[in-house]
Structure 1
């Protein structure tokens, strides 16, 4: 299921609590652009694009949403990526595309 969804990213390392340096977004090894890496609702990790797009512009296999996990606190504790399935979103509804849809590998410089 994870391979079919494209949820094959490596988990992000836990930051050192004593390290106060800025944490940069991870970068795709293929194309060099920034990506967002989130856990899925089934304990895998997925690389997502940095932008949201209307559902009409994203093929069904690449549609994701970011959802807050329910907590008793008013402060959200964690966010997970959930594949958009079952009920199709409205064409103008924003979804987060999987990075694999937008990845254009660099072919090297001459």
Structure 2
């Protein structure tokens, strides 16, 4: 299921709590573009594009949504990437496209 969804990214490294240096977003090894890496709801990691696009511009196989992990705190503790399935989003609704949809190798 993970390979079919494109959720094959390595997990992001755990930052040292005492380190105050800026953390750059990871880069795609094929095209060099910045990507957002998020855990999925089935314990894998996926690389998403840095921008959200309207659902009409993203093929159904590459659509992801970012959802907050339920918690009592108003501050988001973590965010999960969930594949858009079942109910199609409205054409203008923003979705996060998988990076491999937009990847153009150098």
Q: What residue number does 1:94 align with?
A: 94
Q: Is residue 16 from structure 1 mapped to residue 13 from structure 2 by the alignment?
A: no
TM-score by length of 1: 0.95
TM-score by length of 2: 0.98
- In 2, the alpha carbon distance for the partners of 1:45 and 1:15 equals 17
Write the deviation string for residues 71-100 of structure 1: whole angstroms up to 9, x where unpaired. Answer: 011111110000000000011110000000
C-alpha deviation, 1:39, in angstroms? 0.1
- In 2, the alpha carbon distance for the partners of 1:54 and 1:35 equals 18
The number of aligned residues is 106
C-alpha deviation, 1:17, in angstroms? 1.0
- After TM superposition, list the pairs within 5 Å mapping 1:30-109 onto structure 2: 30-106=30-106
- In 2, the alpha carbon distance for the partners of 1:76 and 1:61 equals 27
Write the deviation string for residues 14-73 of structure 1: whole angstroms up to 9, x where unpaired. Answer: 001111100000000000000000000110000000000000000000000000011011
C-alpha deviation, 1:11, in angstroms? 0.1
Alignment gaps of 5+ in structure 1: none
4+ aligned runs moved over 2 Å, structure 1: none
Alignment gaps of 5+ in structure 2: none
RMSD: 0.5
